[in-house]
Structure 1
């Protein structure tokens, strides 16, 4: 990955490569993705890709880091620390479900990286660093909720966040198969809104004193 400052033109080329790689990796995974296809999508050449990123595996990691960073930037913009505790939890639930629904490529990347047992993500110092502030902020929301008498004590912030992610991610990642299994269409806006309301009830019910 390039560390030195890039010219505006070079930065634009690098971003086009990242955007093209996201599409190719989401569709085909790391193993199936072709550097030639990424270069064509980016209107670049393979030499540029290797110059900016070093290898296909390094490009994969750069795409992962970028995807995580974009999600966390939007999540941070919720400013849950300034919202009343229950509204902060509702906002967190809504954001994670809606973001996952709007970004199927993010789901695809995570599924692929889990197939690799996070072998590439383990090389990243950037992604874990994104989540320490999140858990600290969530802990403060829980503390405020407990002080106001709307949340129970003893809630683990990491476990709660993982549960919120799981309740939305599983639904989005599997909604086509679930639609077939249960004979009801789960890909509509109405179905997504119903799922959103259900997750809110589950999370807030768990947090009730």
Structure 2
């Protein structure tokens, strides 16, 4: 008696893509674009090199997909913040803490950013998704700043994009330069006391810039 033909195994295309992206993220984070190896990515993803080229076209295409995924994940994480329920100053604090905590807890994210800067932003520029991902966060911040202006708490002349870059840059520098800062200055900003101290200073600087000037000698 003949046996019934086995049902064909349905390929898990989405699962394969996720495994490839996860493996590629690890390779690009550790070795950069130049040092990452397609064969190592394929092995780690439990697939073959042909599938990598099928889904992403090239090593560079896979690298761009990793960068896009990183920025999209960041945007989704920040978009989940509900800044509308916070007082304007608290909204700034919440956004800053969220961004700075993410940077501290994800040093691999910094490795990818640093690597792309070595390429002068060439691959970020090749994708239209990057500008789309940053816009919602800047709009959230712009709304929070506008509420602060309306309540008389914040000054009116603050550029939301410049402020966002400044805020993000504070957290970025401390983590990206953590080893050299420790070596040169003898202070490890990843340790809790130093981390809390500089976080408080950064928040005071940001909010001090936003608040309306007051006191003797200040024109009304």
TM-score bin, normalised by smaller chain: over 0.9
**Does the 8 A contact of 1:97 with 1:168 survive in 2?**
yes
Cα deviation, 1:56-91, whole Å, max 9, x if unaligned, reads: 000000000000011111111112233211111001
Structure 1 stretches lacking a partner, 5+ long: 1-6
Q: Does the alignment pair 1:70 with 2:88?
A: no
Which residue matches 1:3? none
Give the Cα–Cα distance (whole angstroms) in 2 for the partners of residues 8 and 137 of structure 1: 40
Give the Cα–Cα distance (whole angstroms) in 1 for the partners of residues 187 and 107 of structure 2: 20
Give the Cα–Cα distance (whole angstroms) in 2 for the partners of residues 111 and 126 of structure 1: 19
TM value normalised by structure 2: 0.89
Alignment of 1:141-180 (within 5 A): 141-180=144-183
Structure 2 stretches lacking a partner, 5+ long: 1-9, 213-220
**Does the 8 A contact of 1:93 with 1:199 survive in 2?**
no
Which residue matches 2:56? 53
**Does the 8 A contact of 1:61 with 1:120 survive in 2?**
yes
Give the Cα–Cα distance (whole angstroms) in 1 for the partners of residues 195 and 48 of structure 2: 41
Cα deviation, 1:143-191, whole Å, max 9, x if unaligned, reads: 1101111111100000000000111101000111101111122222332
Q: Does the alignment pair 1:202 with 2:205?
A: yes
Which residue matches 2:128? 125
Alignment of 1:74-113 (within 5 A): 74-113=77-116
Q: How many residue pairs end up in the alignment?
A: 203
**Does the 8 A contact of 1:88 with 1:141 survive in 2?**
yes
Which residue matches 2:32? 29
**Does the 8 A contact of 1:13 with 1:44 survive in 2?**
yes
Secondary structure of 2:177's counterpart equals: helix
Alignment of 1:186-197 (within 5 A): 186-197=189-200
Which stretch shifts more, 116-125 or 155-164? Answer: 116-125
Where is the helix percentage greater, Structure 1 or Structure 2? 1
Give the Cα–Cα distance (whole angstroms) in 2 for the partners of residues 73 and 32 of structure 1: 30
Cα deviation, 1:8-66, whole Å, max 9, x if unaligned, reads: 71111110110010010001110111111111111111011111111000000000000
Q: Which of the two has higher C-alpha Rg?
A: 2
**Does the 8 A contact of 2:75 with 2:136 survive in 1?**
no
CA-based RMSD = 1.3
TM value normalised by structure 1: 0.93
Which residue matches 2:118? 115
Structure scoring higher RCO (CA < 8 A, sep ≥ 6) equals: 1
